[in-house]
Structure 1
Amino acid sequence: MAQSRKDDHIRLAAVQQEQLADTRNAFDDVDFIHHALAGINEDDVDISAQFGPWTIPAPIYINGMTGGTDTALPINRALAQAAAATGIPMASGSVAVALEQPETAGSFTVIREHNPDGIVWANLGAGRTLDHAKAAVDLLAADGLQIHVNPIQETVMPEGSRDFGQWLGLIEDIVAGLDVPVIIKEVGFGLSAKTIQQLYDLGVRIVDVAGSGGTNFARIENERTPHPSNAIDVHAKWDWLEPMGLTAVDCLLEMARVPTDLTVVASGGVRNPLDVVRAQALGAHAVGLAGAMLRVAMSDGAEGVTEVLNLFKTRIRQVYALLGAANARQLRATDVIITGTSAERARARNIDVTRFADRFRI
């Protein structure tokens, strides 16, 4: 069943990405104020980023996606080869299936095989124990562990677990007992400031807000739910799918409310290099790419993913130069206008978005 679910996720996520390719999302509510004489030389720009204990060559990473099936293996191989070629960190999909069905482990270990010296993170869902976490890290000789929290997905998933009450305690055990850094991430519905504070109190120091706007796992699980044989059972499928959760922009606008020694990274609905820089300007230390990379890996393999990642690097550097930002610290001082739905939602939460619009200082 787990392998069938993983294949369903790949197939339905790819369909969603085709639909989202030209769709507006919350990142379109974030505009830089153009200062025509602010630009600097591109060669003077440093786009490296500090991601927890890791210094990475660009503010992007390949987020956790898949594993556990024959379909997933070539995707993970292509992503790993591209990560190795570019120096970009990469997370696996959830390795829980490999812990329960060791015969599927090759679709995960292929990542380390093709990226022996790079930064690799294993991935597990919340609700797993410290022993599970240690096994996941060992499986990939991983440099860190992503724990994804996905209560909405689990609720919609026909075979999902709804035992959410133990999650905080299990996360605390893993953070205290694991020898590598732990990254807590959502799966596309966002981490609020309240949730981030809860995680901080448990010892978590790296969070991925993983907002809505990209792959929607509730919709995927809804599509996997069998249709009723008649129209009477209106509860057989979930209708509460859009809008749902917080966008990455929503989450980043709340960052003034979270502890300053956290590493906050962002993902969810990131379509292009400009979205990366937008997220950084709102405070993200780095930005995750998932759906866009899945499409390229499936169509063009490692060569295509490598080309796209290198193009992201180039375009990010060029946007920095246009904005007069020599590094990420200076980028976070650029002037940004927040409008549209994101501004409305922020005002409803008593967040002042005007503070971003007058930060530039010569």
Structure 2
Amino acid sequence: MNRKDEHVSLAKAFHKPRSNDFDAVRIIHHSLPAVSVDDVDLKAQLLNHSMSSPFYINAMTGGSEKTKEINRQLAIVARETDLLIATGSISAALKDPALLDSYTVIREEYPQGKILINLGAGVDLEKAQQALKLFPADGLQLHLNAPQELVMPEGDRDFSHWLQNIEKLTTELEIPILVKEVGFGMSRETIRQLLSVGVKTIDISGVGGTSFTQIENARRSKRELAYLTDWGQSTVISLLEANEVDETFTTVASGGIRNAFDIFKALCLGADAVGIAGTILNELLTHGTEHTISLINQWKEELRLLIAMTGKTTVTELRTVPLIFSGDVKNWCESRGIDQQHYAFRN
């Protein structure tokens, strides 16, 4: 089976409702919100692009006939809900141009959409420029996935040049760049490294959703690395780590977003925008395009209610919503010196 098809099949097989660190975040309720739902504005900004909603369809797939059809359907969902969308890694099309249409089908279905293309952080400048000629995009995602590569039987084993690559691409390319994890989370130390080479937009993409160590371990003959299934930091913890960095940058949250309440909590934790992949893919494969469109529109309406419930009217105002942490999140804060009372008494 094509590796890209394997990834989709395994992601679908492993997808199931489960608890994650978003459940350890409580909102402090105040009884007089003093706003109207009609006044709530969901608009957000990402990579200099205006978005009508603060969430988007994150990178997933491409590189085969099966994934071409999935990307076509994802593009229709994005078009009908006015969402920004990212392609899966287009490295396969760099190796075999015959696979390019499994990605460009997104632009065909969504010609006016804001579309990001995705490449690994190990890509050099020449290949990145080639990719952007093959698929002119509105932004470039560079993904970090060292644990996945190490568990992948045929994966990369040398990451010594990644940071230098990122710096060169950030300096040399005119297109806006977003550096993202693929579900292992980030520390404040990693974020500072990225900022030091000129990165301005970072997706901390944490543990809680699709596990690519789990997927790649399932492709190993002995399946001996199951203990790495939950390697890394959760999305919630990664957002808290990001907030400890005293520099200005755009924070994107992804990983384990199950519903509108998780989107809302991520925004309360400081995310400027939220990327969603696994939940949307599962809905699409299980229930189809129309159902997925309806679900996303439902999330938008729920977000308006949630924002109004906290007495806020914009996405950025959610950063002052008071929060209480429990469980692993509380323990992490205590170990890493994160001031929980700052979050509990903000207003």
Number of the residue aligned with 2:5: 7
Report which stretch shifted further, 151-160 or 240-249: 240-249
Give how far 1:316 is off.
0.7
Decide which of 92, 109, 120 is 1:97's aligned counterpart: 92
Return the alpha-carbon distance in structure 2 between the equivalents of residues 103 and 214 of structure 1. Answer: 31
Counterpart CA distance in 1 for 2:230 and 2:98 is 38
1:150 equivalenced with 2:148 (yes/no) = no
Q: Distance in 1 between matches of 2:325 and 2:131?
A: 40
Query: Which one of 184, 193, 198 corresponds to residue 189 of structure 1?
Result: 184
Name 2:334's counterpart in structure 1.
347
1:316 to 278, 284, 303: 303
Aligned to 1:233: none
Residue correspondence of structure 1 range 204-215 to structure 2 within 5 A:
204-215=199-210
Is the Cα contact below 8 Å between 1:78 and 1:305 reproduced in 2? no
The aligned residue for residue 197 of structure 2 is 202
Tell me, yes or no, if structure 1 residue 138 matches structure 2 residue 133: yes
Residue from 259, 282, 300 that aligns with 1:272: 259
Of 33-42 and 109-118, more deviation after overlay is shown by 33-42
Written as runs of structure 1 = structure 2, the 5 A alignment for 1:157-306 is 157-227=152-222, 237-306=224-293
* Structure 2 residue matching 1:159: 3-state secondary structure: coil
Name the residue aligned to 1:231. Answer: none
Cα distance between partner residues in 2 of 1:104 and 1:181: 25
Whole-Å separation in 2 of the counterparts to 1:123 and 1:353: 35
CA distance in structure 2 between the partners assigned to 1:132 and 1:163 by the alignment: 18
Match of 1:333 among 314, 317, 320: 320
Q: 2:4 corresponds to which letter in structure 1?
A: K
Give per-residue Cα distances to partners, 1:73-131, cap 9 Å, x unaligned.
11111111111122211000000001101111111000111111111000001111112
Q: What is the alpha-carbon root mean square deviation over aligned residues? A: 1.3
How far off its partner does 1:138 sit?
2.6
Question: What displacement does 1:243 show?
Answer: 3.5
Q: How far apart are 1:320 and its partner, in Å? A: 0.3
Give yes or no for contact 1:40–1:321 (8 Å, CA) kept in 2.
yes
Q: CA 1:305 to 1:46, structure 2 compared with 1: closer, same or farther past 3 Å? A: same
Segments of 4+ moved more than 3 angstroms: none
TM-superposed deviation, 1:242: 4.2
Cα distance in structure 2, aligned partners of 1:243 and 1:98: 30
CA separation in 2, counterparts of 1:181 and 1:259? 22
Question: Which stretches in structure 2 are left out of the alignment for 5+ residues?
Answer: none
Q: Tell me the secondary structure at the aligned position of residue 337 of structure 1.
A: strand
Does the aligned pair in 2 maintain the 1:39–1:322 contact within 8 Å?
no
Q: Contact (CA 8 Å) 2:267, 2:315: kept in 1 or not?
A: yes
SS in 2 for 1:311: helix
The separation in 2 between residues aligned to 1:41 and 1:260, in whole angstroms, is 34
3-state SS in 2 of match to 1:184 = strand
Q: Give the Å deviation of 1:153.
A: 0.3
- The corresponding residue for 2:33 is 38
CA distance in 2, matches of 1:262, 1:326: 23
With structure 1 as the length reference, what TM-score do the two structures score?
A: 0.93
TM-score (norm 2): 0.97
Residue 46 of structure 2 corresponds to residue 67 of structure 1: no
